[in-house]
Amino acid sequence: MHTIASLIAHEKSEFEKRTPEEVRALAVGLLGHNGMMISGSKSGYKPKQNIAVFNANVCTKELGKIWYGDIDITISSRQLEELAKALKQSVYVLSESHARFENETAPLFDYAVWWTDGVTSQVRYTDSYKLNRKKQWVST
């Protein structure tokens, strides 16, 4: 993987100048190879307090899916924020079913697990996590 600084140093001034292939390459450079696995076992993945999305899809509204694989948002949020900043657009993490199969060409952004515009980020929707009394996300 490349460092964030080396990838952003080559940033073009406008998103429109980037080809879809360049955008996907930037995502791979920041997040790792497509299809990456963070654990051999979903049920055995630790730490449980992290927000991990298995078979996730990272999408933008302009390009659709730009990356896919397992992602621990708690660990990779900084890289996702840097990706949004570099693209000058919001980046969404969706579950497998919300951006694959019948939703491949029209991802369901309203069901994004997490999103960022590079400055602000938010957990939006999840059926695998809930807020506890301390307002912390915990797996269900």
Residues 61-114: tens digit of each pLDDT: 999 999 999 999 999 999 999 999 999 999 999 998 888 888 888 998 988 999
CB neighbourhood size of 12 (10 A): 11
Confidence of residue 37 (pLDDT cuts 50, 70, 90): very high
Bridge partners for 59 per DSSP: 65, 92
Rounded to the nearest 10 degrees, the angle between the axes of helix 20-31 and helix 73-87 is: 150
- H/E run at residue 25: helix 20-31
Q: Which pLDDT belongs to residue 131?
A: 53
> What six digits make up the tokens of 47?
């730490």
CB neighbourhood size of 78 (10 A): 12
Q: Which pLDDT belongs to residue 12?
A: 46
For β-strands 64-72 and 91-94, DSSP reports them as unpaired
- If one counts the domains in the chain, the total is 1
The domain containing residue 27 runs over which residues?
Answer: 4-139
